[in-house]
Amino acid sequence: MFQPMEQDTHPRQQARYIELLRAQAPADRLRKAAALTRAVRQLAVAGIREYFPHADELEVRVRLAERLYGRSVALRLFGPHPALT
């Protein structure tokens, strides 16, 4: 179910935001959610590349999986990669 926004959001603005979300077609909400997901992944990859500038593509994928899903999932997906030690 819907989780309330942080307490620093005025109840009127929160109600308006929810009203605007509900007025959108489901397909539009899905497109926006997918776009936000892509943006979060891009930001995560950019952060990994900045912190590990010499990481190859596999290492970036391993570190991204760990960041998004946790170490145990990354280990199941990629095995004992050096980035996970």
What is the token pair recorded at 67?
A: 């960041």
Residue 20 in any domain: the answer is: no
Q: What local confidence, expressed as pLDDT, does residue 6 receive?
A: 61
Taking only the tens place, the pLDDT of each residue in 13-67 is 999 999 999 999 999 999 999 999 999 999 999 999 999 999 999 999 999 999 9
Residue 8 in any domain: the answer is: no
DSSP letters of 27-58? HHHHHHHHHHHHHHHHHHHHHHHHHSTT--HH
**CB of 84 closer than 8 Å to CB of 71:** yes
Which residue bears the tokens 């990354």?
74
Residue 11 in any domain: the answer is: no
Number of domains in the chain: 1
Q: State which residues form the domain around 41.
A: 26-84
Q: What local confidence, expressed as pLDDT, does residue 55 receive?
A: 97
Residue 17 in any domain: the answer is: no
**CB of 58 closer than 8 Å to CB of 77:** no
Give pairs for 10-14: CB < 8 Å, separation 24+. Answer: none
Residue 7 in any domain: the answer is: no
Residue 68 in any domain: the answer is: yes
